[in-house]
Structure 1
Amino acid sequence: MYIPSLADMLVAHERIKPHIHRTPVLTSQYLNDLTGAELFFKCENLQKAGAFKARGASNAVFGLTAEQAAKGVATHSSGNHGTCLSYAAGRRGIPCTVVMPRTAPQAKKDAVRGYGGRVVECEPSTTSREAVFAEVVAETGAEFVHPYNDPRVIAGQGTCSKELVEQVSGLDAVIAPIGGGGMISGTCLTLSNLMPQIKIYAAEPEQADDAYRSFRAGHIIADDAPVTVADGLKVPLKDLTWHFVQNHVTDILTASEQEIIDAMLLIWKRMKIVMEPSSAVPLATIIKNKDVFAGKRVGVIITGGNVDLDMLPWQQK
């Protein structure tokens, strides 16, 4: 297992700069007053292809040799990684195939196709996803770019918190959502080297809390098909992301479905930005655990904005 280094992250940042945005950091006095903390929102919902995963995907795609690139890339993804890999592959002019659950938001399937990617559907379980994906790779010979358990992807995701600490000084903590752990691992990679005093928190839905349970048990506990409004956080940790979580995360906090929806609506109303349910989980856990963050300067990573506008969770009855 190759564990990416700080040098890998720094190389990644130079490699991907032409293909990503240096996203803004926004604040809200209302949310500061509500939580008792100073919150700094790193807006990856405004990233290329609408999610932080453009970073890791671009690093993987533009790091391929010409021989590897000729066969294209492939992945399995509930949405954002597939969209971002299609985006990066399109920038390089190579094919991309994405295996997606049939239940993935239509907006995310459309986004993959919009960037020139091919969608192959599977059942909404890890077992089905991996079986269908194996068929795709056998057929195409494409380079597998894992959504999160890939050193190239983690090094790319680590560039987000590098920018954050350059944009905001004196942070006490950074919090990001956790599903498979790609963003958290990149955050751990960067901050443990550059700013080891900053505490790293992961935020997870109660209904998909395998990382929370793994963290407390001391080993990976995987759920096959959890159900949560935070559709980007349904996948389990893998060995590489578990390494970073186990060694560098301060704590994993959880929020209920209603708390996630309420936090999402609050950000839409107060900050006037579009973000998806997965991105609301950190704020939901900060509101729920005010004592942990009170008086602190906290970086909050808003991971993506690819939400189906016809299926907003507060409109569903």
Structure 2
Amino acid sequence: MSQIISHSYPGFNDIAIESAISAIRTGDFSGRQTMKLAESKLASFMGGAYSKLTNTGFAALQAALVAANVNCNDNVLIPTVTCPSVYHAVRSLGVTPIVVDVEKETPLISLEQAIRKKSTSGKNVVIIPQMFGLTQNVKPFFESDFLVIEDIAQRFSPTISQHVDLTVMSFSPTKLFTMGYGGGIVTRQEDYYARLSVFLDPDHSDHSYEREVPFRIHSPVSDYQCAMLISQLERYQEILSYRNKLVEKYDQELGYPARLQPEVPFRYQLILEHHSAKKISESLRESGIGAWALGSHLLHQLFEIEGDFENAEWWSNRVLSLPLHEKLTLDNICYISDVVRRYR
């Protein structure tokens, strides 16, 4: 095995490290002032919306659901192609999510399937993960009377639709940027922000009199986490520019293959003609290259959910995900491409 290349790598550089070190040297880990600054920077980055930070993306989704007053009488729909943590976050509030198929054209949640599974009682909530850096039009879901929670953990960008109620994100080590771990919620609606401010109060004391919101989420972030995030928001275009450069190199080396066309370059993902992604990914990992097939992330298989998931099944073993992160060099891309060509 001549090289070992990971599938993902935390998105940070020396600037982020120095920012974190500077925050640590203050000896104040409470995150009060730096958190306020980071939330302000994130809100500005997202176009002037309100924002709150959490210690994980999981907690961010929990908080969004609580802010939206989701309870066991409501209908929460999620696609089968998404991270299992989305399923577990919904379940943590005592709600069993309704898992639906994805589109035939893209591995994103199907509007048709979602409408078919709407309920006539309670709220109809849809969580729309913008998977793999792709962008799904959320307006049709909004116009179909869904409360829309958008998950941009894999397509972190400053564009938020006016048809989204709440937007959640993750800054875990596998994402575009990292705070070590971390998450965020963004909304344009002041009432949601007010509720978030109550139950995400890190001391659970400033708003202890708010009896109408008994639910609390303890998910504080530290000064050094927030300092890292601020430094990376300032480098956003630089980071994306380098990733796009790697995408161009992949295209050239692999002959402009059929692949997913994301708005944000989260991974480089080939669309294979045959059901061979799992086999090829295993062979690539044996060669020291982190690669994965989409099929290992289907919720209906993981949780043994019956139903029609024809489109997801089609996508499951045709998407081959290759490394794409800041630690990769152009030479790495040449090596990876050379190995991939042996199996195509």
TM range (shorter): 0.3 to 0.5
- Normalising by structure 1, we get a TM-score of 0.37
Give the alignment's TM-score, normalised by structure 2: 0.35
Q: Larger Cα Rg: Structure 1 or Structure 2?
A: 2
